[in-house]
Amino acid sequence: MDIEELSSVAVLGAGIMGSGIAQIFAQTGFEVWLYSRTEETLQNAIKKIEHNQETLVANNALSPETAREALRRISTTTDLVEAVDGVDLVNENLPEQLELKQEVFENLGEISLPETLLTTDTSGLSITEIAERTSHPGRVAGMHWWNPPHIVPLVEIVRGESTTDQTVKTLYTLLEKLGKKPVVVKKDVPGFIGNRLQSAIFREILYLLENEVAEPEDIDVVMKYGPGFRYSAIGPVQTMDLAGLDTVVSVSDYLFKEHDRSTKPNRLLKKLVKEGKLGAKTGSGLYEYTEEALARIIRERDEKFIQVLRNNREDQEH
């Protein structure tokens, strides 16, 4: 399917990711069907989209007119057949359960048009395995967005073993049209690129916390004003080149053997989960949260993300 022919999208799953993805498609002019099994989830998703848009409008990143028009392009349904009927692209955002996704994609292969592109927003499950029951695995690919998807530019396009070149090419062009920064993951490895890097960082952070090397606040400061500050302008691969690969070898020689080699979730992490301290959604995790504090954190996060996004776009234009 040619990129100019794409005009309608079905987003399956109306949580944080699904609502944000539906929003960005609608704001770019696509007709969107947003699907969930419950009407309550769909109503909450529309409220979430409206809240997202309020933040964007307040920061001059979206016009009120575009926001209103986008909302009119979003239709909601609890009927999967209705959601995917005649659409050009499906983006699935259901829970990270392989069997569930396989069943959904097997069904999609039967109820969608033969040319409809089928994408999954899995964080790291095998695209090949998700697509193996579909009648057209060549049109299945991973399309891994990052939270919040209506702001964060990166989207990873992940090839399964049967994904066609045309599918990848079309998705790449589509994401550029959405104002995103697509990358192609050439091999279907667990975690793709971003989550492999992120999970490696998480493992070291949890090691430092468990061994009382530093407080959570100080670790966040290190990442925000050290590596994170630097990586927003220059990536880690080029950072190695600028440091000198001989220097990287020397540091690796004494530091690699000191890294945490755990192959299972950290004990501190499992302890907190067992105690019901799941993070922001329960009010307690590695930090403590009140409803007011959490709302402020998310608002300030999104405002900072918008500013970073604006700066990046200005840099690209010059």
Could you tell me which residues come within 8 angstroms of residue 180 by beta carbon, excluding any fewer than 6 positions away?
Answer: 24, 153, 154, 155
Could you report how far apart the first and last alpha carbons of the chain are, in Å? Answer: 33
Catalytic residue among 91, 126, 136, 156: 156
- 301: region left, alpha or beta (phi > 0 left; psi from -120 to 50 alpha): alpha
Each residue's pLDDT expressed in tens, for the chain with a length of 318 residues: 677 789 999 999 999 999 999 999 999 999 999 999 999 999 999 999 999 999 999 999 999 999 999 999 999 999 999 999 999 999 999 999 999 999 999 999 999 999 999 999 999 999 999 999 998 999 999 999 999 999 999 999 999 999 999 999 999 999 999 999 999 999 999 999 999 999 999 999 999 999 999 999 999 999 999 999 999 889 999 999 999 999 999 999 999 999 999 999 999 999 999 999 999 999 999 999 999 999 999 999 999 999 999 887 776 766
Based on the residue annotation, tell me whether 144 is a catalytic residue of this protein: yes
Catalytic residue among 123, 126, 136, 150: 123
Torsion of CA 270, 271, 272, 275, to 10 degrees: 120
Under 8 Å between Cβ of 34 and 74: yes
Domain covering 194-287 assigned CATH 1.10.1040.10 in the classification: yes
- By C-alpha distance, which of 82, 100, 194, 284 is closest to 90? 82
Catalytic residue among 52, 91, 144, 150: 144
Q: How far apart are CA 91 and CA 260, in angstroms?
A: 36
Helix spans in the chain (H): 16-27, 39-58, 64-72, 80-84, 98-111, 127-131, 165-177, 194-210, 216-225, 227-231, 236-243, 245-255, 267-274, 291-317
Phi, psi of 155 (to 5 degrees): -135, 125
Under 8 Å between Cβ of 53 and 23: yes
Distances (CA, A) of 184 to 80, 108, 161, 200, 275: 29, 24, 14, 21, 39
Based on the residue annotation, tell me whether 8 is a catalytic residue of this protein: no
H or E segment at 118?
A: strand 117-120
- Give the pLDDT of residue 81: 97
- Tokens 């700066």, residue located: 311
Based on the residue annotation, tell me whether 156 is a catalytic residue of this protein: yes
Instruction: Give start-end residues of each CATH 1.10.1040.10 domain in the chain.
Output: 194-287
Instruction: Give start-end residues of each CATH 3.40.50.720 domain in the chain.
Output: 3-185
- In DSSP terms, 288 is beta-bridged to 284
Catalytic residue among 195, 266, 284, 312: 195
Pairing state between β 154-159 and 140-145: antiparallel
Based on the residue annotation, tell me whether 123 is a catalytic residue of this protein: yes
| CATH superfamily for domain 3-185 | NAD(P)-binding Rossmann-like Domain (3.40.50.720)
